[in-house]
């Protein structure tokens, strides 16, 4: 079992090496003098997905995003409860099914309330 995690660790090491080598590669190439260095104002300007940058880096975001983050946390926790039940679905039978249904119904109350109060619409 633990050796299986060795593969995950291997992927992690490859990911870290990739992330480190990507910025290091052009830096070493320019230090070795293999890359010509001819800066001009347009070349050295700040680049952001092809669009010219406007204003400061830190802007205050709309507080409505927080609602979606909170909803995301709630339904993420829901998965943690549903997953162990799903792995033993057949052996656990009807009693567990009713329990999970009640669990979902309680959460649905919140979802329907959000729908009725129109907080899921973006104004």
Partner 1 sequence: MTVLDIVFWLLAVISIGAALAVVFLQNIFRAALFLVLCFFAVAGLFITLQADFLAVAQVLIYVGAISILIILAIMLTREMWRGNPGGRFQLPAFIIALGLFGVMVWAVINTSWQISAELPLVPTTAAIGSRLFGEGGLLLPLEIAAVLLLAAILGAIVLVREK
Interacting residue ranges for partner 1, rule: CB under 8 A: 1-2, 5, 56, 58, 60-67, 69-74, 76-81, 83-88, 91-92, 95-96, 99-100, 102-103, 106-107, 109-111, 113-114, 117, 119
Q: What tokens were used for 27?
A: 């830096």
CB of 14 to partner 1, least distance (A): 16
Is the CB of 10 or the CB of 99 nearer to partner 1? Answer: 99
Residues counted in the chain: 123
List C-alpha distances in Å: 65 to 28, 45, 62, 68, 119: 41, 31, 6, 5, 12
Write the Ramachandran bin of 38: left for phi over 0, alpha for psi from -120 to 50, otherwise beta: beta
CB atoms within 10 A of CB 56: 6
In the complex, the smallest distance separating the C-beta of residue 19 from partner 1, rounded to whole angstroms, is 14
Nearer to partner 1, 42 or 116 (CB): 116
Nearer to partner 1 (CB atom), residue 29 or residue 97: 97
Complex with partner 1: residue 49 or 109, whichever CB lies closer: 109
- Smallest distance from the beta carbon of 100 to partner 1, in angstroms? 7
Can you count the helices (H) and strands (E) in the chain? 4, 0
Q: How many CA atoms lie within 13 A of 65 on its CB side?
A: 3
To the nearest whole angstrom, how small is the minimum distance from the Cβ of residue 58 to partner 1? 5
């Amino acid at each position: 079992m633990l050796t299986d995690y060795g593969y995950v660790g291997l992927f992690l090491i490859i990911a870290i090496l990739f992330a480190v080598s990507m910025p290091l590669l052009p830096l070493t190439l320019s230090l070795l003098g293999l890359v010509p260095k001819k800066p001009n104002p347009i070349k050295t300007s700040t680049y952001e997905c092809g669009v010219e940058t406007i204003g400061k880096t830190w802007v205050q975001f709309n507080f409505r995003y927080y609602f979606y983050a909170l909803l995301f946390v709630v339904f993420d926790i829901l998965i943690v409860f549903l997953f162990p039940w799903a792995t033993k679905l057949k052996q656990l039978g009807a009693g567990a099914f009713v329990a999970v249904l009640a669990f979902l119904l309680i959460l649905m109350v919140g979802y329907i309330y959000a729908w009725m109060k129109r907080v899921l619409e973006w104004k």
